[in-house]
Each structure stands twice: as C-alpha cells, then as structure tokens.
Amino acid sequence: MTPINELTSTAVPLPLPNIDTDQIIPKQFLKRIERTGYEDFLFYDWRYTFDAKGNTTTNPDFVLNKPEYKGSQILIAEKNFGCGSSREHAAWAINQYGFLAVIAPTFADIFFSNAGKNGIILVRLSEADVETLLQRSTANPQHKITINLEAQTVTDDQGFRAHFDIDPFRKHCLLNGLDDIGLTLLHEDKLDAYEERHNKEFWSAPKYAA
C-alpha cells in the first residue's frame, strides 16, 4: 500500500446520497477470482448504456466519462456513501480506478473500514462544506483540492479550509502505507523467533526425540 500524506488533485463531483456498493461495483462482477482489474467496472451501470441487443456504449453524460475530469484522484459525494453490502470489491474498484480519497458527510461503517485498509482516505465534512466543494468542482473541473492527512485539513484554491477527524490508528496506517499484511510484517522478527522456538519444542518432544 502506498503511503499518503498530502494529496492535491481535481475532484469528481457525484452529488448523490446513499450511493451503495452495488452501484459502486455491480454484483455480476463479484464472481471474478482476481483482486485486480475492478477499475473497469466502477459505477458500471452509470458509465455505460445498454440497448435491447446487449450492446454497450459509453454514457457521455456521466461525470467519469467527461474528459475534463480524467485523472482526478478525489471523489466527492453526498451522505451515506458506501452503504449496502460488505463487499470489499467496492474499495478495490475505487482505488484501482485511481481515487485516493473520498469526501462525503457520512460513510457506511463497513465501507469505511474496507476503504482504509485499501489505501483510501475517507474525509467526513459537514453537508454544507461538501456542498461547497461539489458546487466548485462542478462549475470548474480544474478546481483543485488539497487533503493534508497529517494536519487533517482540506483546503482548495479558492480559500476553503476545513478540519476532519480520523481514527489515529487508521491515520498511522495510511501515512505509512500499512495494510493488514504490512502491519503483520512489522513483527516479522518476532514471528520468525516464535516459529523457530515452536519447531525446536515440537521436534524435541518425546514422541519425535531420537
């Protein structure tokens, strides 16, 4: 997982509440056994249109398909983002598409946990602050937002400034690029010592002793 501290980027405005995990990554893509490649299916039912013959075309009206928002690393949405099922695929799809942060008034609890474990900063701001950022990014696709994780602040190029709260443990993991595997490997020397001690004790037991 890549460490994140300060992120400056344009932002994709998605002014909708209650965006659930089935909208983020539709259920038909959960059958895949890979953990990569989900960026192609992010908001699939909104990004594409389908005709009676099953042909798929890109929906030019959906914000992710607008060239002026290409490369944005911040997503802005309304309250209760990530509600629905507990599928971790939603966090995978968002991260693999290139989003490193999501700004919203509230997030579903399980999605909040999954996102943090997959290198995504979730920023909770007031509804009024989120509305301000949504309006500015909609009016000007080049609107720049800066998220400083160390300082726990959000600023923009028009004088906006707000503070956000984050769990200290999750903040530490994001700043240092630590997922669950990375956290475990911090104790690699202790794990190796335990395995060595366990093997010696196991093979020296009377059952196996020469």
Q: pLDDT tens digit string along 113-149?
A: 999 999 999 999 999 999 999 999 999 999 999 999 9
For 108, other C-beta atoms within 10 Å of its C-beta total 21
Tally of CB atoms within 10 A around 41: 22
What are the percentages of helix, strand and coil residues in the chain, rounded to 5?
A: 40, 20, 40
Domain annotation covers residue 15: yes
Backbone angles phi, psi at 15, to 5 degrees: -80, 70
- Looking at residue 53, its pLDDT comes to 81
Pairing of strands 153-156, 144-148: antiparallel
Would you say residue 25 lies in a domain? yes
Q: What is the CATH number of the domain that holds 97?
A: 3.20.19.10
- Tokens matching residue 148: 């400083």
> Is the residue at 194 inside a domain?
no
- Token pair in block for residue 120: 């995504």
For residues 87 and 153, the model is more confident at 153
Domain residue limits at 160? 6-179
Where residue 55 falls among pLDDT bands split at 50, 70, 90? confident
pTM: 0.85
Q: Is residue 150 part of a domain?
A: yes
The pair of structure tokens assigned to 61 is 């009206």
